């Protein structure tokens, strides 16, 4: 496996690779969710390349940039075992040299939810994804459905800027108890980890409520909130809900209509850890719907 550190090296190395080329961007701290992205890429592409870059511009002030889990050697080994041909792992100064002055933003679908909670986040994501797609020039790029708003932003960005790439969303990979895989799960204490799967159970309860005849998005939200907050007052760690809402998966505007594109999305804190998850309210859209823990 080829590890490149500069844009120039990367371009030179990419020139000789077989196409179609699949690309998996990551911030490292790899888990089975990342490996599912690689597996999806390998299923449709002759060559799969990845990036490992903890992008500073997508962290807002006071967030966990400094504490974000890093294990470059372990990540390289995981990439190699997963069949990755090239990993681009630049220093921050390579992607953001002196005099860097350009911003990319996606309006409207970044106003609420993660965009409201993390003011600089999606601007940083849009910027680094634009750069990485211009460097790697893949035919297809793979993103997790767990970060559903990010996936919507990247799809819109690629369409609006005419980036010649197909964006593929890959289903969320879960622990055996249903907790969505995330590098940030490493922040959870043992007590918090025991409670964390309640977030997905709450989404399943919401999806169950939504499946009843005549139900609306409000019913899904109420059922999920009831499950998530039902344990409060006990001695277990309790969730603090950032948001729990039904939205259109493409526009991330709130909707009470239950349609094929409607997602039930959640962000909630357990102690210092912020967990994200979502579930489709369309009976057929997401396989997780049936993979009940």
Q: Where on the chain is the footprint of a second copy (CB under 8 A)?
A: 7, 11, 97, 99-109, 126, 130-131, 134-135, 137, 156-157, 159-164, 251
CB of 103 to a second copy, least distance (A): 5
CB of 75 to a second copy, least distance (A): 22
Whether 238 and 252 have beta carbons less than 8 Å apart is answered as no
Residue in 34, 121, 176, 261 annotated catalytic: 34
Residue 121 annotated to the active site: no
In sequence order, the 6+-apart residues with CB closer than 8 A to the CB of 106 are: 122, 126, 153, 156, 157, 160
- Whichever of 11 and 184 has its CB closer to a second copy, that residue is 11
DSSP helix/strand/coil, 72: helix
Residue 37 parent element (H or E): helix 32-44
CB of 96 to a second copy, least distance (A): 8
CB atoms closer than 10 angstroms to residue 4 = 21
Beta strand pairing call for 47-52 and 21-26: parallel
- Whichever of 86 and 163 has its CB closer to a second copy, that residue is 163
CB of 47 to a second copy, least distance (A): 18
Beta strand pairing call for 2-4 and 239-248: unpaired
198-210 vs 217-229: helix crossing angle, rounded to 10: 150
Distance CA 65, CA 52 (A): 14
- State residue 50 phi and psi, 5-degree precision: -140, 165
- Whichever of 124 and 237 has its CB closer to a second copy, that residue is 124
- Whichever of 66 and 99 has its CB closer to a second copy, that residue is 99
Burial per residue of 223-260, b for 16 or more beta-carbon CB atoms within 10 angstroms, e otherwise: bbbebbbeeeeeeebbbeebbbbbbbbeebeebeebee
- Whichever of 162 and 290 has its CB closer to a second copy, that residue is 162
- Whichever of 102 and 234 has its CB closer to a second copy, that residue is 102
DSSP helix/strand/coil, 30: coil
Cis-peptide into 168, omega within 30 deg: no
CB of 82 to a second copy, least distance (A): 25
CB of 183 to a second copy, least distance (A): 25
Which DSSP state fits 11?
H
What positions carry a catalytic annotation?
A: 34
């Amino acid at each position: 496996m080829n590890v490149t550190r500069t844009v120039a090296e990367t371009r030179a190395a990419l020139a000789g690779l077989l196409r179609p080329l699949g690309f998996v961007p990551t911030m490292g701290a790899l888990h089975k969710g990342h490996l599912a992205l690689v597996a999806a890429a390998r299923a449709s592409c002759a060559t799969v390349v990845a990036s490992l870059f903890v992008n500073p511009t997508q962290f807002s002030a006071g967030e966990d940039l400094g504490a974000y889990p890093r294990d470059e050697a372990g990540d390289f080994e995981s990439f190699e075992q997963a069949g990755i041909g090239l990993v681009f792992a630049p220093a921050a100064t390579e992607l953001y040299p002196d005099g860097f002055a350009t911003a990319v933003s996606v309006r409207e679908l970044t106003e609420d939810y993660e965009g409201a909670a993390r003011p600089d986040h999606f601007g940083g994501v849009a910027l680094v994804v634009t750069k990485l797609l211009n460097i790697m020039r893949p035919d297809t790029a793979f993103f997790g459905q767990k970060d559903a708003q990010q996936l919507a932003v990247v799809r819109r960005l690629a369409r609006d800027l005419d980036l010649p790439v197909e964006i593929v969303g890959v289903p969320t990979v879960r622990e055996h108890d249903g907790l969505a895989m995330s590098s940030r799960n490493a922040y959870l204490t043992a007590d918090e980890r025991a409670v964390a799967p309640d977030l997905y159970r709450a989404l399943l309860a919401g999806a169950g409520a939504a499946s009843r005849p005549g139900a609306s998005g409000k019913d899904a939200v109420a059922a999920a909130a009831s499950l998530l907050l039902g344990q409060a007052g006990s001695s277990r760690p309790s969730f603090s809900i950032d948001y729990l809402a039904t939205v259109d998966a493409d526009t991330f505007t709130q909707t009470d209509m239950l349609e094929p594109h409607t997602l039930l999305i959640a962000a909630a804190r357990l102690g210092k850890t912020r967990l994200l998850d979502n579930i489709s309210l369309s009976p057929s859209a997401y396989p997780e719907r049936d993979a009940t823990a």
